[in-house]
Every structure is written in C-alpha cells, then in structure tokens.
C-alpha cells in the first residue's frame, strides 16, 4: 500500500488557491481595497528553488527564489505588514489590534531551502515568518521525508536554532509522525492520519474514538516536546499536515498544548472569530501580482461557497453494491470516468436505503450505531471522487429517519462524518410532510410546527457534522425539497431562512413532466434578488425514456435558470446506464469545462477504466 503523496493529497483535499493569469493593471485596481483590522491573510509556501520552471514544474508547490524575492519587495513597497504568531495570539485575546494589510508568511515541512534561500531574504527585508516542522522527519524518518523532498534536503536543528535566535523565525508543529496517510476503509484507501479513524483489517473494524484521540494527542505532545527542547521555545501552534483538521482534532491539539490551529483553504476569518485559521496555498510559481490577486480574494471572501458555480450529479450508492471489492472498484472506475468526462464539480451521494421496500430506511453504506450496514462503500467513493476527479461530495440523509422512524439524525450524522471527514456537506431531504413550507408563504400553526421541527433537526445535525468535518472544506448544509405540485409560494421565505443560516436550498422535479411547476417557480424567482438566488440549487429528474424534444426542453430549462443567475444546477437521478444520454444531451448545460479542446467522450469505445 502506498502512502499519500504530500503534494497530491494537499491539492485535492482542500479548497486550494489556484493562481489565475492576470495583468498588473487588473491587480492594481484592487490595491486600494479596504482591508478591515484584525482580518489577515496567511500564505503557505513549501520548497524554494533557483530552477523552478515558469510553468509545468515537477513540483507545483515550489516557488522560484526570484519570484519569492520579488514578492517580498512588493510587500514592502505596497505597505503590507508581515506579522508574527504572537500578534495573532494577542489579537485573539483582544490585547492588541492587527493593522490593515496584515500577512502571515508560513513555510511548511522544514525543507533545506527555508534555511538557504528563505532565511537570507527574511534578514534582508526584516520580515518574520513561521516554519512548520514534522519533527520525525528531522529526527530520522527518512522514508516520508525523502518521498517529499529527496535525500538530504531538510534543515537540521543547528540551522533552525540559528534562525530562531535571529528573532525572525518562529517554529510550530507540523505533527511528529502524522504527515502521512493511514488505512481508512476496507478497500485500503490511505487518508490523512490526523483526522482519520484507522481501519484495522485484522480486526475487521475501525479504531475506536478513544484510541484515535489518544493517538493524536500523543503525537502532538511529542512534536511540541521535541520543538521546545531543541529550540528552547514554547511553541503554541500546529499547522496541520495536508490542512486536515476537524473541530475534534482542534480540541485534541489544545489538550496537547497547541491552542493555535491552522488548516488550508480559501476563506479568511477575523483573528478573534475562530480557533482554526485557513491558509492560502501558493502554487504554480506565481508572480507578486498573481499572489496579490489571491490575497484580496481571500480577504473579501471571493471564494465563499454561495458564490461558486456548482454542477451536481445525485447518485444512489445502491448502484455500487457489489459481491467483491474488485467488482465495486470496477463500477466505481466507470462512475469516475463518466464524471470526469462530463466535468461536473459536485456529487450528491444517497447514503442510506430502504432495502426491503417497506417504506422505512433500514440500511446504510457507512458504519453507524442505528442502521444495518449493507456495504461499507461511502468512504471509498468519497475519497476517490475527491482525489481522482476533484469533485466535492455531499451526502444525503432523509429527515424521516427521525420524524417517522424515531432514530437520531444527529447521531447518524456524527457516525457518517467522523468516518468521512472529506464530505463537503450534508443534504437533508425534508420528505413529504414538510412540503407545506414550500407551498405557502403564510404557514399555519401545523406547518409552523413541522418546519420548526425540521429546522431544529437540521441545526443539531449540522453541529455534529461540523465537529467532525475537515475545516478546510468549508462544510455546508442544504435542505432538499422534492416538488409535487405548482404550489411554491413559500420559496422566498425558505431562501431567507437559508440565507440567515448559511445553508442551501435544493429543489428537484421533472420540468418536462411538470411544466406547471417550472412556470410557477419562474414567478417566484423574479421576487428574489441576486444574493438570494445564489443559495438555490435546482436539480432535474430526467426521464430515461426522454425523446429528442424532451432533451431540448431540459436544455432550455437549464439555460433559462442560468439566465436568471442560478449558478447551481444538476441531475437528481443520475445512473451509470443513463450517463451516455446525459453526456450527449446535457454536456453543455452541466459541464464546468470551458475549453472544447479538452473534451473527451468516454462512450466512443464503450470502455470504462478501473480504479487505482
């Protein structure tokens, strides 16, 4: 079994800051942007080399010495303020304020270039910076270190002591020995050690909560003890490997003496508004202008989830049930190939099923304490969808589990997310009994009671999910309504609720079979402003027997929604055997691929690739 490659995993697991090509003039238009006090940017660098290719370098996380020096000069020229971790800590405690245009410069992994190339630049510009060290790498874990940087390419303790004594370098934990993957499911996927319950094949079960927590605390304590002893410091921060951190692991770090926590991601936060801060990941050897554009996007929440275009495929995991892991991987390979060719960016997985057809949910596709486990398929599917085809993944659970069956959706959500920390969000299907909330904008007493129950269940489930989900993923929740008729007068009220709580509203129906529903929705959409429309997801149930005129109608309906600034659309009943028809008729409407040159039709040879 292969360990996770540092750079491959980091690129897939997080919402990375990809670096677009922009002109200096474009960048200059944002220089005057107002940046509030106590809102700061944290940037993450890795190796610094003299010979980094302008594009297509073998290490997409490396930056050239020339570009880093130019960036430092630009920071000085434009009046940005490199800050220290101590500044962040004091600002969190409201003992000082950070100046506008504050930036925290960080360098991960302890590469030798931090001493030979970065340190001289820090001294030249009198800039402070933070260095995240996986202590086991420095103390002889050559296997993981060589895999990341090659032989003899890490700093030693003497070099780090010299840097620390200069007053310009701070050192923090990058874990002791969690900069690696561990076995995460029966199909042998390797996932981040810091947030994964290890799968124990000899026992046929997962690591217990207690064992997981003890393992993480022990590792972080060891890392802190080594750093403090070797460098004569009292380090207070952990920069999580791969940016993989949950609220649970955040609390474990605090118990290990590391109250400052940094992940990776694209959402900036006020210094005193959270415990884990997200860091922008520097990629593709950017120029100072490119980095500045990303810094401003970071500060202005330009990459907030509600602003993003989303193209959904909803898929029932029942299709993946297989007699062997090999057969499952073959099906999964076909699914991934179809997704990759369609170039959507979000997958919604139905994670439970009514296996005996009695109208009640009786099985799940993930380990849990309340339902039977048909097959443990969710984790492997989520991981492959994220790492192989770079789609974000939502899981769907029905509210009826609690409202009709008396189970705890809160506990089921906890079981789901703690074993699937890479989940992007949870889709909660409200079922038929709460459709009254969509049908009228004046809820009667009965409907108000039902909707309040739904909202309470949602909030409890969301709290559990956010405790276990990877913070770098900006976890989201959505309420799912399957429309039955044209009564949709409650749309605006529901959207306002979502807006207040940072949630999405997912609506599914068949616009060909029910044009009256689509017409009624049009009238309601006209009452919404552009911001409110960003919290809507429209997903069509597409008939597998659709005729050419029907496909044209689906195309028209999707385009109509786009013209109304609806950026989140999808297919609610995607299946492996309907993938070809979706590809042929709705590629233009669903695909996020903007270049026809990279289009590939997977059905030309009627073959599917296997999963690696």
CB 590 within 8 A of CB 311: yes
Q: How far apart are CA 451 and CA 453, in angstroms?
A: 5
Residue ranges of domains in the chain, CATH in brackets: 6-16+49-299 (3.20.20.370), 305-598 (3.20.20.80)
H or E stretch at 527: none
pLDDT of residue 1: 36
Cα dist from 379 to 393, 420, 492, whole Å = 11, 6, 36
Mean pLDDT of 226-233: 98
**In the predicted structure, residue 4 carries a pLDDT above the cut 80:** no
> How confident is residue 15, by pLDDT bands cut at 50, 70 and 90?
very low
H or E stretch at 312: strand 310-316
Positive or negative: CA dihedral 200, 203, 204, 207: negative
**CA diameter of the chain:** 74
Least confident of 74-88, 297-311, 431-445, 494-508: 297-311
CB 299 within 8 A of CB 39: yes
| Measured torsion, CA atoms of residues 60, 62, 64, 69, in degrees rounded to the nearest 10 | 130
Average pLDDT, the chain: 89
> How confident is residue 38, by pLDDT bands cut at 50, 70 and 90?
confident
Mean pLDDT of 495-505: 91
Q: How far apart are CA 289 and CA 302, in angstroms?
A: 17
**In the predicted structure, residue 32 carries a pLDDT above the cut 60:** no
| Measured torsion, CA atoms of residues 287, 292, 294, 299, in degrees rounded to the nearest 10 | 160
CB 96 within 8 A of CB 87: yes
pLDDT digits over 355-387, tens only? 999 999 999 999 999 999 999 999 999 999 999
pLDDT digits over 501-531, tens only? 889 999 999 999 999 999 999 999 999 999 9
DSSP for residue 284: S
Alpha helices in 182-320 (DSSP H): 209-231, 247-255, 288-299
pLDDT of residue 2: 37
CB 108 within 8 A of CB 44: yes
DSSP for residue 116: I
């Amino acid at each position: 079994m292969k360990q996770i490659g540092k750079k491959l995993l980091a690129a897939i697991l997080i919402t990375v800051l990809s670096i677009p090509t922009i002109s200096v003039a474009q960048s200059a238009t944002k220089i005057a942007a107002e940046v509030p006090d106590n809102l700061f940017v944290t940037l993450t660098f890795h190796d610094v080399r003299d010979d980094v290719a302008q594009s297509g370098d073998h290490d997409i996380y490396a930056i050239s010495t020339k570009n880093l020096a130019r960036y430092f000069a630009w920071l000085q020229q434009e009046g940005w303020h490199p800050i220290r971790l101590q500044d962040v800590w004091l600002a969190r405690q409201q003992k000082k304020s950070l100046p506008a245009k504050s930036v925290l410069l960080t360098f991960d992994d302890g590469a030798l270039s931090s001493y030979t190339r970065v340190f001289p630049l820090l001294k030249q510009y009198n800039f402070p910076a933070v260095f995240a060290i996986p202590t086991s790498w420095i103390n002889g874990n050559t296997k993981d270190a060589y895999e990341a940087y090659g032989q003899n390419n890490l700093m030693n303790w003497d070099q780090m002591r010299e840097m620390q004594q200069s007053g310009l370098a701070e050192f923090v934990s990058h874990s002791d020995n969690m900069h690696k993957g561990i076995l995460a499911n029966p199909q042998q996927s390797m996932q981040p050690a810091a947030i994964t319950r290890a799968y124990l094949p000899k026992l046929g079960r997962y690591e217990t909560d207690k064992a997981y927590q003890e393992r993480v605390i022990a590792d972080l304590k060891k890392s802190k003890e080594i750093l403090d002893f070797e460098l004569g410091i009292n380090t207070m921060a952990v920069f999580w490997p791969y940016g993989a951190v949950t609220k649970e692991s955040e609390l474990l770090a605090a118990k290990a003496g590391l109250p400052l926590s940094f992940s990776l991601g694209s959402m900036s936060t006020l210094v005193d508004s959270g415990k884990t801060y997200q860091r922008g990941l520097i990629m593709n050897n950017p120029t100072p202008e490119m980095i500045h554009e990303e810094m401003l996007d970071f500060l202005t929440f330009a990459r907030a989830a509600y602003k993003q275009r989303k193209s959904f495929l909803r898929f029932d995991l029942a299709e993946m049930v297989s007699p062997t892991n090999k057969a499952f991987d073959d099906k999964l390979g076909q699914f991934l190939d179809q997704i990759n060719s369609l170039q959507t960016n979000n997958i919604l997985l139905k994670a439970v099923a009514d296996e005996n057809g009695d109208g009640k949910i009786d099985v799940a596709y993930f380990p849990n304490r309340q339902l039977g486990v048909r097959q443990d398929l969710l984790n492997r599917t989520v991981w492959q969808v994220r790492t192989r085809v770079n789609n974000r993944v939502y899981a769907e659970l029905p509210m009826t589990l609690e409202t009709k069956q008396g189970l705890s959706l809160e506990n089921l959500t906890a079981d789901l997310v703690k074993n699937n920390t890479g989940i992007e969000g949870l889709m909660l299907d409200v079922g038929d009994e709460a459709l009254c909330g969509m049908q009228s904008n004046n809820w009667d007493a009965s409907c108000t009671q039902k909707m309040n129950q739904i909202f309470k269940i949602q909030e409890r489930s969301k709290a559990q999910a956010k405790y276990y989900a990877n913070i770098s993923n900006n976890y989201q929740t959505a309420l799912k309504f399957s429309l039955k008729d044209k009564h949709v007068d409650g749309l605006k009220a529901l959207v306002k609720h979502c807006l207040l709580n940072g949630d999405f509203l997912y609506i599914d129906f068949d616009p060909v079979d029910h044009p009256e529903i689509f017409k009624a929705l049009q009238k309601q959409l006209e009452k919404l402003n552009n911001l409110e429309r960003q919290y809507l997801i429209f997903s069509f149930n597409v008939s597998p027997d659709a005729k050419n005129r029907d496909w044209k109608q689906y195309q028209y309906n999707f385009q109509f929604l786009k013209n109304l600034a609806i950026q989140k659309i999808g297919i609610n009943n995607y299946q492996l055997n309907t993938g070809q028809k979706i590809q042929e008729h709705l590629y233009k409407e669903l695909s996020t691929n903007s270049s026809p040159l990279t289009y590939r039709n997977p059905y030309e040879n009627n073959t599917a690739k296997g999963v690696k």
